[in-house]
Amino acid sequence: MSIDIETARKVAKLARIRVEEERLPALAGEFGAILGFIEQLQEVDVEGVEPMTSVTPMRLKRRQDGVTDGGYPDKILSNAPDAREGFFTVPKVVE
Partner 1 sequence: MSDDLADLTIAEARDALRKGETTPTALTEACLGRAEAAGALNAFVHLTPEIAMEQAHAAEARLAAGEAPAMCGIPVGVKDLFCTQGVPSQAASRILDGFRPEYESTVTAQLWRAGAVMLGKLNMDEFAMGSSNETSAYGPAISPWRRQGDATPLTPGGSSGGSAAAVAARLCPAATGTDTGGSIRQPAAFTGITGLKPTYGRCSRWGIVAFASSLDQAGPMARTVRDCAIMLGAMAGHDPRDSTSADIPVPDFEAALRGDIRGKRIGIPREYRMEGMPDEIERLWQNGADMLRDAGAEIVDISLPHTKYALPCYYVIAPAEASSNLARYDGVRYGHRARLEQGDGIVDMYEKTRAEGFGDEVQRRVIVGTYVLSAGFYDAYYNRARKVRTLIKRDFDAAFEAGVDAILTPATPSAAFGLGEVGEDDPVAMFLNDVFTVTVNLAGLPGISVPAGLDARGLPLGLQLIGRPWGEEALLDCADVLERAAGFVARPERWW
Neighbours of 8 (CB within 10 A): 21
The CA distance from 55 to 50, in Å, is 12
Q: Sort 28 into a burial class: Cβ within 10 Å, 0-12 / 13-18 / 19+.
A: buried
Position 50 contacts partner 1 (CB under 8 A): yes
Position 67 contacts partner 1 (CB under 8 A): no
Position 80 contacts partner 1 (CB under 8 A): yes
User: Contact positions toward partner 1, by CB under 8 A?
Assistant: 8, 11-19, 27, 30-31, 33-35, 37-44, 46, 49-56, 58, 60-61, 63, 72, 75-76, 78-82, 88, 90-93
